[in-house]
Structure formats: structure tokens, C-alpha cells
Structure 1
Amino acid sequence: MEGNRKVAILGGGHGAHAMSADLTSRGFSVNLYEMQEFKSNIEKLFETQTIEAEGIVKGKFKLNMVTSDIGKAIDGVKYILIVTPAFAHKNYAQLLKGKVKRDQIIVVYPGAFASLLFKTVFGEEECPVIAEANNLPYDARISAPCKISIFGRNKINIAYLPAEKGVELIDDMRSIHPYERVYEDVLEAGLSIVNPAFHAGPCLFSVNSIENWPKRSFFLYEHGVTPASVKLNVKLDKERKNIGSKLGYKLTPIEDFSGLKEGYQWQDLYMGMHGNISLTPISGPHDINNRYFTEDAPYGLVPWSFIAKAVGVETPIIDSVINIYNIIHERNWWEIGRNADDLGLSGMTLEEIKEYVKTGKK
């Protein structure tokens, strides 16, 4: 089997299970890695090495290996596919430092500026190409040990660090997923994530209702989407677009996701969110530690703000939301989240930042 058909998938959750089954079904040799401290969560998979899938992918699929030995997992593979929540990215970057070869390619699903973080952790040593997708490729849930239900595929885009490597890599990588668009660079990719500007208003203005569950039911898109909450979303989106404009991008993530036209008003967004039949039945979130808060803020809003400061754009609404979340969570998301040190952009001019994401060199 050719080297480009050998992959390592790092992570043990829903997305990693789905990707392992899907790629194996399409003839890839898959090494699945999970950290030793989380091995007990998928203990049966370590024993059977087999995933049973239902939905758009059907069958039982024997993986090449399931291991907690990172050296074995990435040995001889071309692609290292990291399918984990954003809070785990730094641990994986530290785990892989010094172990990844120059000709291997790391892909993070979804990225949220993970490529900049990995580059910062790896340093200027022989750093491989790092790519990041803007979403998970699957809607999937683990239904039982070693069993995954794959309900559908998501359209995903990709970006590369260095950006100039995308042209030579994208055709081969489309054998893994049919990436629709190659972003100009990883900054455009990270600024194009939908959720931080989609969840913030309804979540922030619904904190009391969320904390009162299960005393009363709560459905974010039914109860939390109000004229006031979507007005906040519009302001967040405009600030994010201002950052993109300063960097030379025309960002349309909300429009792309919701089908709205450019220049949409809050009334349009309200109807698109509150009246969306695929969204309104979704129950929750049911506590303030849900990922709609604890992932969107530190790995979406926080890096948006730091990038804005680096290029001279003011973001008073984004900053206010983060500061309020700091209070209700009793944490400092500015420090915990993907901050300026993680991004590696401190002290750089706009021109230097653009050159860095293009070439990977400072």
C-alpha cells in the first residue's frame, strides 16, 4: 500500500471513530491513537481493533492498529489527522514535537488557529506542513462501545501553514475528504469558523434559563434566539469581518452557513435561526460549561481579539463577551484560551503576519 494511503488518526471521540470507519471503508490503512490516560474510555476498541458503523457508512471495519504509543501510531504514515476538541490541541502539539518528520502532514479537525499553535510549540525546527479544516467532516455519535452512527457529511474547507504549500497538496488530500475550498491562509480559516458568532448572543442572553434546567426546558434556537440576541450576533460578525478586511479577506461565514445574502440585517438572521427546522428541535445547552461557551469563547473569540489587536482593529463587543464569560465561569479565558503567545504573532507588523502565514517563516 502506498504511503499516502496510510494515516494516523489521533483522538477517541465521535469524529475520530467516524473518520476511522470511513477511511478504512475506502481502503486506507488507519492507525487510531488515544492517550493512555483516556484509554479506558474506549477500552473495548483497544481489544477488538474494530469499529462497526451505521448510517451513510455501513459495516464492520478492522483498523490497522489502535494504540497509545504515539511513535507506533505515526510511524510510516503520510497524514496525521487530529480529531479532538480545541482544548486538547496544545497537548497534542507537545506530544508530537520532535517526533513528526518533515515530509509528514498534520491536519487538525476543526482547526481554530491550531496550525499557528503547533508551529509555536514546534519552533523553527524541521516543522512539517500543518493544515486545518474549518469543521468536522461528519455528523456522528458513538452509540455503544466500538459502534458509530454516521448521520451525514459536512462540507469542509481547508487552509495550510505555510499557505503556499496548498497548491501542491490539495489534489492528493482530496482523496481523504472532498475539501471544497482552500482558504488563502490559516488566518482566514480561523476567522471563518461559524459558531463563536452564532452562539454568543443566544447563549449570553440565556444564562438564567440555561442554569435553571431541568426546572424548565430550554432549546437554544427556540427560546434563546430573540431579536436582542441576534443583534449581538450581528455586531460580533461585523467586528470579525473588520478583522478580515484589514487582512485582505472577504469573510462570509454566517452567510455561507445560513444562506443569507451579504449585508443581512438582524431580522434576516432572526428568521434564519429561529425558523430553521433543523435547528429549533435541538435541546440545550443545559449548563454554562457546555462547549457553546467553553469552546467558542477561548478558541474562537479570544484569538479573534488577539489577532485584531495585532493588526490594529478594535473589537469592543467581542472583548465584552469574553469578559462577561470570565465572570460567569470564574476563569480567565484570555489566559486559558488561544492567546497571543499561542498564536506566535506578538510584536509582528501586519505585513510580517501575512508573510509568516504564507511562508511559515518569520
Structure 2
Amino acid sequence: MKKTIAILGGGNGAHTMAADLAMRGYRVRMYEDAAFIGRLSVLRETLTIRCTGLLTGEGHIDLLTDDISEAIDGADYIAVVTPSTAHVAVAEKLRGLVRKDQTILIYPGGFGALEFKAVLGEECPVIVQTNNLPYDTRLSGPASIYCTGMSPVSVALFPADADRAVLEDVMDISPFDRIYEDVLESDLSLVNPSVHSGPCLINIGAIEQQALRGQFCMYEHFTFGAAKIDWAIDAERKAVGAAFGYRLTPLEDFCEPKNELRWQDIYQKMHGAPELTPITGPDSIWNRYLTEDCPNGLVPWSELGRLCGVPTPTMDAVISIYSLVHERDWRGTGIDLARLGLAGMSVEEIRSYLKTGKK
């Protein structure tokens, strides 16, 4: 018998995962915060999600609630499918409710495992996090999604020495093709901050105009300059990863170049991937492509670089420009080492903590 999974979140990915798993026989419950659940009135009434595109059919879920304890009670798996900016708030809501025999899945991780551990402490169960969502998808209407792509993810365990038997069920929930050494390797392998930052920075003016007129499509406006910025960000995060002993290949895995990754390979991928070209937006400079990928991606990458003495000038420049445009101190409000429970630790101490979950 398929197991019960509680999906925390109410956006594109959460709807798609709920429908997909329900159609595959899982017992699915969805949770959305009380401040946002009103937007899901159709789903609350019908408990049915209609799917078109590469995923077709109707997924019938068991429950939609704004009571997180009701959603997770007795669930085998708790899937957090929210922007990374919501991770700490979700972890705080789970504190005192989650059980050690449950498993938390985070899609995508985005430093989520370390944030959850910092909030939950000793009550934190095993966490499996991914480097990406398994779907390229958008809501197409109330309780309706349009899926343009589905692909395997890569996963990591926290702690890394946890029993890998849990991954057998995870493979059925979301097929994966790689197991990272630990969650920090996964965090440094996030795709979005190294793909979105270049075109969003280059096109800030066009994105601001989109708020007034027309429809902006990021991948259509993906220029040579955008690809060069993305390539530089990727090179810097690889250098940070190397200082921790990792050999990172996220954009190689994404772009599949014939030889060593070049900015031209990134440009070609963005203009030749049918799962990407239909995607519209961002429709505002406050879109998560900027306000999530910067403070929850570029900032912690840069902070880890400072810890191990690796310069990150391109990341730092993007952080500074976004801070100016948004009139917000993204470095000061983004994910820092303290929020990850890593403040004051050496590279060696961090590697040990990632493996055992103990300091």
C-alpha cells in the first residue's frame, strides 16, 4: 500500500507534486498557510487538481487544510514544497509536532536541511533534500497545472550517515539519479541562483516595464551577457565547493556540454530547451527569481566563500546591485552562517557536522 505524504505549500510545485502522487496512488494531504489558503478555494471544494501538458489527468487529494498538525498527523513523509524564504517559518510551525520516525523531504533544499536542524534541534528527524524540483510547471488556473517537463533530481541526506534505506521510498516519490555526499554539496549545487541571476540582472529594466505592459519571457531575453554572468557565478561556487572537498557539476549536468562548460553552452541550453521556453516571467523585480535566489542562494554561497577564503566578486556584485534596486540589505537579511548553525565552525568541523548531525 502506498504511504501517506503531507505536502506543505500551495504553489506551482506543490500542486503538481500533489496531483502526480495522488494519481500514482499515494494518500496526499496538502497544507497552506491561513494567510494564503483563500486562494485555493476551488481546490478546497473539489480536492481535485487537473493536469495538462506532460502530466495529464486528475489528482484527487485527501485533504487541504491550514492546520499543519492535521496535515502531518500520521504522515510517513512531510514534503516541504515552498520557496526557500519560507523554510524557517515552516520549521518553526513543525517544532513540537514532527516525530522522529517521520521523514522530511525538501524540494528544493536551498539550505533547508541545515535551517530545519537549527530550528528543530534534537527533535529533527532524517531530512532528504533535493537540488531542484522534479517538475517544470506552472499553475494554469484554479486547481489546474500545466507541466512542461519532468526530470530526475539529485538528493542528499541529513545527517549524511543516516540509514539510506529511506531513499528506496524517495526513489518512488521522486526518481533521483545522484546521491550527494552531504547536504552542503546539494546546497552548492542549486541550479536556480546560477541560471536566473544573469538574465534577471541584465533585464531589470525590461522586468520593471513588464509590470506596466506586455509579457516578459526570461528565456527569450537570455542574452550573451546573461550567460557570461551565469558562467562566472558558477565558476565561483565551484571554487567554494572545492574548498570543502566537492567537485561540483550542476550546470554541466543541466546543460550537458560536450566538453568543459562555456558560457555558450549555457546560452544554447536556455534557447533550445522546450521545457523552458514556454515559461513566462518574472513579472516584477520582486519575483522570487531575484528575492529568493539572491538572499537564499548567492548570499550563503558568498558567506561560505568568506569562511574558506575564496573570493566571489560576481556574486557580491549581483548582491550589491539587487540590494540597491530593492532598497534592501540582502546580505544582512539573507541566509548567514548563524542561521545555518555553522557560525564559528571551521571547514573540518562543518564537514563532520554534516555527516553526523552532531557538533
Is 1:175 aligned with 2:165? no
Give SS of 2:175's match.
coil
Q: Which residue of 1 aligns with 2:89?
A: 91
How far apart in 2 are the matches of 1:256 and 1:158? 14
- Name stretches of at least 5 consecutive residues in structure 1 with no aligned partner: none
The offset of 1:69, in angstroms, is 1.6
Q: Which residue of 1 aligns with 2:155?
A: 158
Q: Which residue of 2 aligns with 1:361?
A: 358
CA RMSD of aligned residues (A): 2.2
**How many percent of aligned residue pairs carry the same amino acid?**
48
Pick aligned residue for 2:107 from 90, 100, 109: 109
Q: Which residue of 2 aligns with 1:35?
A: 33
Q: Which residue of 2 aligns with 1:19?
A: 17
**Does structure 1 retain, via aligned residues, the 8 Å contact 2:52–2:145?**
yes
Change (3 A) 1:237 1:341: same
The offset of 1:151, in angstroms, is 3.5
Is 1:127 aligned with 2:124? yes
Give SS of 2:164's match.
helix
Is 1:258 aligned with 2:255? yes
Aligned length: 358
How far apart in 1 are the matches of 2:102 and 2:200? 40
Pairing 1:125-274 to 2, within 5 Å after superposition:
125-165=122-162, 167-213=164-210, 214=212, 218-226=216-224, 228-261=225-258, 263-274=260-271
The offset of 1:352, in angstroms, is 0.5
Q: Which residue of 2 aligns with 1:321?
A: 318
The offset of 1:111, in angstroms, is 1.1
How far apart in 2 are the matches of 1:21 and 1:296? 26
The offset of 1:272, in angstroms, is 4.0
Is 1:308 aligned with 2:332? no
Change (3 A) 1:121 1:56: same
**Does structure 2 retain, via aligned residues, the 8 Å contact 1:225–1:274?**
no
Q: Which amino acid is the alignment partner of residue 108 of structure 1?
A: I
How far apart in 1 are the matches of 2:216 and 2:142? 29
Change (3 A) 1:330 1:106: same
How far apart in 2 are the matches of 1:58 and 1:243? 41
Give SS of 2:350's match.
helix
TM-score (norm 1): 0.91
Stretches (4+) displaced over 6 A: none
TM-score (norm 2): 0.92
The offset of 1:340, in angstroms, is 1.8
How far apart in 2 are the matches of 1:33 and 1:283? 26
State the Cα deviation string for residues 89-125 of structure 1 (Å, max 9, x = none). Answer: 11101100111101111011111010001111112x2
Change (3 A) 1:220 1:72: closer
Change (3 A) 1:139 1:265: closer
Is 1:350 aligned with 2:352? no
State the Cα deviation string for residues 53-76 of structure 1 (Å, max 9, x = none). Answer: 334444433322222221121111
- Name stretches of at least 5 consecutive residues in structure 2 with no aligned partner: none
Change (3 A) 1:296 1:127: same
Change (3 A) 1:211 1:12: closer
Change (3 A) 1:55 1:353: same
Q: Which amino acid is the alignment partner of residue 84 of structure 1?
A: T
Q: Which residue of 2 aligns with 1:74?
A: 72
